[in-house]
Structure 1
């Protein structure tokens, strides 16, 4: 599909010539007043080749004029159902989603992209929705070109993968919980059996050592399952909560409470610097999870007796949350990959810290779902600073639809790492 999308992107950039008159809609003078999409005869061979090239693409292309009337539509766009019947008999109109995107592009002057699932035809006519990647760019004289790529198969595979991970993780929670309880019972039994013994029993010592290992690994597996479920939800298995103002005072207090035990075990101080009363726009539990994961990661890779510093910097539209440590740092070749799922810069050290390899991937998806981002700067051997940037006020919705159209775009798949 990549070459098709690439060809469509190149074509969309050249559609200014289309708006200038290569292809136009002519209104017939008849009583029906139908729009006819075609070519002027004056363009000769060049316009004929352009039309054939456009019609041969599997990428749908629709050009809307300043009044959102379609002035150019190729067969792929028609097949995707991007046209609707107009208000008058015999007329055509662009799909409301396309008109919404076009309006946003005209207002902001910035291209817009969105992925969504649209029903095929009438409700219930097809079991699977049509997955589309829409890209809208501004042309001359108020015209907007909308390119539509069919990503139905990738959406289906992503749903299958998310469902598989969620189902397997959910089923694993029960046996893992049983393992944790049994290992705790075994630890208690070996401790009671060893009380009062004049000399340590080698069998009891070995049994206790194995029980402690089982207990440690079962807790690690339980954390892995929980983070897999969390990542699956963030990637679109569940609808995103409605954004609300989130108090960073509460988030910082929650993060310090969550990480107190781990930090105290290594004699690491978690400090905070920043204004009081700062807020971000999103979901409180997810913001707290993202910051907690960054602090836990800093604690895990910092030596004992150091400091992890939390800093909040507020601008007009964004709030930056910095997590700075005095740890081992990250090598330049690993900086671009640390947010990938299960990626470990240092395999041996990661096993020693008990990490799952999912914490930073979860942070990345939380930031993306909130319309923000996460960055990192690091010096090998000189510590790291992770910056979580979140909106300080409601962002313009990526695709605000009229209420009647909401079910058509209800599922917006999450982005993968």
Structure 2
């Protein structure tokens, strides 16, 4: 008997000091006891709860479900149940509770009590609702973003640090279908019907734009063709930017694919037209210049007529140079410039270019100086190298005001011939430098000076230098002059 009393006393102490609300409910559904935690949750005293129907403490919207479970338990259909419900306090306010209920039966199997335990989950529920609302907002925003991305006429791709495809829009899916007719497996470098800008050479795995982006490279206007069928293939201009995590580490890349098929075909048509016109103009121009030279050599012209013939001859020669530039420009965009390499002394080639530029520089009121290393032997196309140096000297003279200075140097550094042309001219802005080698581009300051030219020379120079396996660099400051540096390997590169 004493042991039973001790157990009951222990149970009372446990219930009284438990942080979980506890109660005993009669089979008729009336509350018989309530511990301190339950009274605190419901904001009342135990006396206020005794004899209260449990259903009155349940929110009307949850009452039917709770009543069904309670009745089923009393009828013997189950021994316990659990549900999350809204509880109504005596002051009318509500809280969310996690209720667990189990029966206590007599020796004959009749239900004596239902033991209820209630845990206040109001704060948890609030957080769940906030999380659900936030998730709903994110879901709506994602659907909206995806709709926007699928609307734009640019292919968009996101890859992770391993080069795996994470997401892309509908337009890029169209490009994938064309480039990979057998299906794409979602990783960078997969071979397919992808061709270089020439439309002929297949792009290898290492040069695929996604592979480059996965290596952390950033680039703009990387051009290639996709699709094997010439009638349906597309030209793409691709840009890539790296994505970084919170610690600044490389996490992947975002890429944009613009369809420039119409532009590429227009350029091809333009180049074919320029090449055709240039060829057609060369023959009559050669005839005109030839007859002008015969007139000069005839000796029967007076001074006034000779002066007039000289003007015609000068303009015809200028026109011939322009026609040559147009033809060269069309040829180098169609593929690498053809070079006739031989071992030559660049000192002589560069020196001759300086001598040829001296009269023009002096007439413009400029100083032209040179420092040329002796015996710089290289395997190059001498005529093409001379064309580059002539163009750079001509530009420096053209864009330098009277009293200025143009300086040319030729040295050898690390098995490369280095030709530098520096002037004190008008210079260029950073925006101009970005587009300097673009065909037909002329800076705003050059246009303001009304200097002759159509913006072909530097593009041709770059093509010649690159064709030799070299590179051309430029540094310039507005009103502070410009320096062009050409680096050519002394020997032929594979």
What range is the shorter-chain TM-score in? 0.5 to 0.7
Structure 2 contact 159–254 (Cα < 8 Å) conserved: yes
Question: Does residue 1:330 correspond to 2:426, yes or no?
Answer: yes
Q: TM-score, normalised by structure 2?
A: 0.52
Question: Does residue 1:230 correspond to 2:328, yes or no?
Answer: yes
Aligned to 2:237: 133
Decide which structure has greater strand share: 2
Aligned to 1:215: 313
Structure 1 contact 241–283 (Cα < 8 Å) conserved: no
* Alignment partner of 2:153 out of 58, 61, 64: 58
**The residue matched to 1:163 in structure 2 has which SS?**
helix
Instruction: Structure 1 unaligned segments of length 5 or more: list them.
Output: 1-39, 195-203, 394-417
Aligned to 2:296: 187
**The residue matched to 2:285 in structure 1 has which SS?**
helix
Write the distance in 1 (CA, Å) between the matches of 2:142 and 2:280.
60
Q: How does 1:243-258 map onto structure 2 within 5 Å? A: 250-258=345-353
Write the distance in 2 (CA, Å) between the matches of 1:104 and 1:117.
14
Any idea what the Cα deviations from partners look like across 1:231-258, whole Å, max 9, x if unmatched?
3334x1333569x9x99x9444312223
Write the distance in 2 (CA, Å) between the matches of 1:127 and 1:221.
38
1:295/1:49 CA distance change after superposition, 3 Å: same
Paired residues, number: 322
**The residue matched to 2:238 in structure 1 has which SS?**
strand
Question: Does residue 1:159 correspond to 2:262, yes or no?
Answer: no
For the aligned residues, what is the CA RMSD?
Answer: 4.8
Aligned to 1:295: 393
Larger RCO: 1 or 2 (CA < 8 Å, sep 6+): 1
Question: Does residue 1:346 correspond to 2:449, yes or no?
Answer: yes
CA shift at 1:106, angstroms?
Answer: 3.5
1:135/1:265 CA distance change after superposition, 3 Å: closer
* Alignment partner of 2:259 out of 150, 175, 193: 150
CA shift at 1:41, angstroms?
Answer: 9.2
1:372/1:266 CA distance change after superposition, 3 Å: closer
Q: How does 1:17-166 map onto structure 2 within 5 Å? A: 43-80=138-175, 81-83=178-180, 85=182, 96=191, 100-107=208-215, 109-120=216-227, 123=228, 125-127=229-231, 129-139=233-243, 142-166=251-275
Which has the greater radius of gyration? 2
Write the distance in 1 (CA, Å) between the matches of 2:447 and 2:168.
48
Question: Does residue 1:174 correspond to 2:174, yes or no?
Answer: no
1:389/1:275 CA distance change after superposition, 3 Å: same
Q: TM-score, normalised by structure 1?
A: 0.60
Aligned to 2:474: 374
**The residue matched to 1:110 in structure 2 has which SS?**
coil
Instruction: Structure 2 unaligned segments of length 5 or more: list them.
Output: 1-134, 192-202, 245-249
Q: Which moved more, 1:314-323 or 1:62-71?
A: 314-323
Q: How does 1:272-311 map onto structure 2 within 5 Å? A: 272=371, 287-299=385-397, 308-311=406-409
**The residue matched to 1:143 in structure 2 has which SS?**
strand
